[in-house]
């Protein structure tokens, strides 16, 4: 059995359900605000557990979001979506938002453990003021905030009713052991990027198709610029906009030297999705933004990770913090049977924890001593918990 609470109860209400058999716990997004939320604090007893994480999707016009779309225009098989309990469908529209990824793994926990769970908030498709191509469209307080969990901000752009809006990036879903920071993440589901403005008509199938990339996969998806897929700067296990967060839209160019340095189009510039590494934004009004990558700590990567430092910035590439990764092989945290699928989830992220096998350790309740001549007898009475 798991115990859980919100880290900051003033932010929302715990939204957790159990399946009828009692073995699985479904952790949903707990807050009303898509961008200002809190984590779950979850306590585990020793046992074998399966974790299933879904990253959130980026902001988009309602319903204009699609199952993973290959550069050739075809979607992945719907049976893959169904097999992983996804909720997306294949669409041909332009200016699509990026959907969230899925990752699962099995882990044995040998002792009582405190963890922290971030459920990613879906990006927002909106505007904050009736302007476009103004300097203030890129003031952080005037931009559309990214989803909780590191989603990139989108610039403000309003042209007229039904035309001007932009999508921010989704927040990643992550489980952290011991400490609530990016360097103690052990499994992560990447989030999708937000879309540019959507309008009905041929423009969205051609020059104004700024569809965003899918979150998830160990290599996340890029974005579409004027209906053409751009496969540069893909977030993966070692590279991305920054460790954890997706990139926010910029007026001039990316502050990350590996990012896009030439801008264009109007101010309908979306934000990128968060992940193990977050995606890059395109900084163009006819362009989408990249998704964030997924990750799981395994026996194949633990030795390399234990020797590495990672630098995390905020979504505007400010306030860098560098720390060493929090775990090594001696800690014993390794996921097995890891599966990852890109772009099968729309909405806020979620986590499913299934208890596969509880490990029962006996506890000593009574110690009774009997001394008989030169011998000391010790009787131990055990009571399994």
The closest of 209, 214, 215, 213 to 223, measured between CA atoms, is 213
In this prediction, residues 177-204 reach a mean pLDDT of 88
Position 350 confidence tier, pLDDT thresholds 50, 70, 90? very high
pLDDT of residue 367: 40
C-alpha dihedral, 100 to 106 to 110 to 116, nearest 10°: 10
Residue 353 in 3-state DSSP? Answer: strand
Q: Kindly report the three-state secondary structure assignment for every residue of 4-59.
A: EEECCHHHECCCEEECCCCCEEEEECCECCCCCCCCEEEEECCEEEEEEEECCCCC
pLDDT (0 to 100) of residue 162: 67
Q: Which two tokens stand for residue 156?
A: 């403000």
Please answer whether residues 12 and 38 qualify as being in contact, where contact means their C-beta atoms are separated by less than 8 angstroms: yes
Extract the runs of DSSP E, i.e. beta strands, from 281-349: 295-296, 309-312, 321-324, 336-345
Residues 6+ apart with CB under 8 A from 4: 14, 16, 25, 27, 40, 41, 42, 43
For residues 71-97, b (16+ Cβ closer than 10 Å) or e, as one string?
Answer: eeeebbeeebbeebebebeeeebbbbb
Structure tokens at 26: 């479904």
- 299, pLDDT greater than 60: yes
CB within 8 Å of 385: residues ≥ 6 apart: 360, 361, 362, 363
pLDDT of residue 59: 94
Measure CA of the first residue to CA of the last residue in the chain; give whole Å. Answer: 11
pLDDT at residue 381 in the model: 43
User: Is the pLDDT score of 366 beyond 90?
Assistant: no
Instruction: Report the chain's mean pLDDT, rounded to a whole number.
Output: 90
Q: What is the pLDDT of residues 92-113, one digit of tens each?
A: 787 888 999 999 999 999 999 9
Residue of higher predicted confidence among 229 and 49: 49
Q: Is the pLDDT of residue 177 over 90?
A: yes
pLDDT above 90 as % of the chain: 71
pLDDT band at 320 (very low <50, low <70, confident <90, very high): very high
Is residue 370 very low, low, confident or very high in pLDDT (cuts 50, 70, 90)? very low
Residue 357: DSSP 8-state: E
CB atoms within 10 A of CB 320: 11
Query: What is the dihedral sign for C-alpha 193, 197, 200, 205?
Result: negative
Between 60 and 339, residue with greater pLDDT: 339
pLDDT, tens only, 205-225: 656 777 888 999 999 999 988
Once rounded to an integer, what is the mean pLDDT over residues 283-312? 95
Number of H helices, E strands in the chain: 2, 20
Q: What are phi and psi of 332, to 5 degrees?
A: 80, 10
Predicted local confidence at residue 203, as pLDDT: 57
The answer to whether residue 125 scores a pLDDT higher than 70 is: yes
According to the per-residue pLDDT averaged within each range, which of 119-123, 124-128, 369-373 is highest? 119-123
Asked if residue 161 has pLDDT above 80, the reply is: no
Judged against a pLDDT cut of 50, whether residue 181 lies above it is answered with yes
C-alpha 247/C-alpha 255 separation (Å) is 9
Helix (H, G, I), strand (E, B) or coil at 385: coil
Domain extents in the chain: 3-384
For residue 338, pLDDT over 70 is answered with: yes
Count CB atoms within 10 A of the CB of residue 3. Answer: 10
What pLDDT band is residue 372 in, cutting at 50, 70 and 90? very low
**Range 188-212 average pLDDT:** 78
What pLDDT is recorded for position 93? Answer: 80
Stronger pLDDT, 177 or 201, i.e. the higher one: 177
Average pLDDT estimate for 332-361:
92
Euclidean distance between CA atoms 371 and 385, whole angstroms: 30
Residue 206: predicted pLDDT? 56
């Amino acid at each position: 059995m798991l115990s859980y609470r919100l880290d900051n109860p003033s932010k929302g209400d715990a939204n957790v359900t159990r399946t009828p058999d009692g073995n699985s716990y479904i952790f949903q997004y707990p807050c009303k605000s898509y961008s200002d939320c809190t984590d779950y604090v979850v306590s585990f007893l020793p046992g074998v557990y399966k974790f299933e994480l879904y990253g959130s999707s980026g902001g988009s016009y309602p319903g204009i979001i699609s199952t993973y779309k290959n550069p050739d225009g075809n979607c992945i098989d719907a049976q893959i979506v169904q097999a992983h309990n996804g909720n997306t469908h294949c669409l041909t529209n332009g200016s699509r938002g990026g959907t969230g990824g899925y990752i699962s793994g099995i882990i044995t926990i040998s002792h009582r453990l405190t963890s922290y769970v971030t459920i990613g908030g879906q990006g927002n498709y909106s505007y904050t003021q009736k302007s476009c191509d103004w300097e203030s469209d890129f003031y952080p307080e005037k931009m559309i905030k990214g989803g909780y969990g590191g989603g990139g901000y989108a610039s403000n752009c309003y042209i007229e009713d039904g035309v001007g809006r932009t999508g921010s990036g989704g927040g990643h879903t992550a489980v952290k052991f011991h400490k609530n920071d990016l360097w103690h993440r052990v499994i992560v589901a990447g989030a999708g990027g937000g879309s540019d403005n959507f309008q009905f008509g041929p423009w969205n199938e051609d020059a104004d198709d700024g569809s965003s990339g899918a979150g998830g996969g160990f290599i996340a998806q890029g974005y579409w610029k004027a209906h053409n897929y751009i496969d540069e700067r893909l977030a993966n296990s070692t590279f991305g906009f920054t460790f954890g967060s997706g990139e926010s839209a910029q007026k001039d160019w990316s502050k990350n030297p590996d990012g896009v340095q030439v801008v264009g189009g109007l101010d309908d510039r979306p934000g990128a999705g968060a992940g193990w590494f977050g995606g890059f934004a395109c900084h163009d009004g006819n362009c989408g933004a990249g998704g964030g990558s997924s990750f799981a700590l395994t026996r194949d990567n633990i030795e390399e990770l234990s020797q590495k430092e990672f630098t995390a910035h905020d979504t505007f590439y400010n306030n860098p913090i560098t720390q060493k990764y929090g775990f090594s092989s001696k800690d014993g945290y390794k996921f097995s049977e890891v599966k990852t699928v890109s772009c099968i989830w729309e909405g806020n992220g979620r986590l499913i924890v299934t208890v596969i096998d509880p490990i029962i350790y006996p506890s000593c309740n009574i110690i009774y001593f009997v001394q008989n001549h030169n011998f000391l007898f010790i009787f131990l009475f055990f009571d399994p918990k």
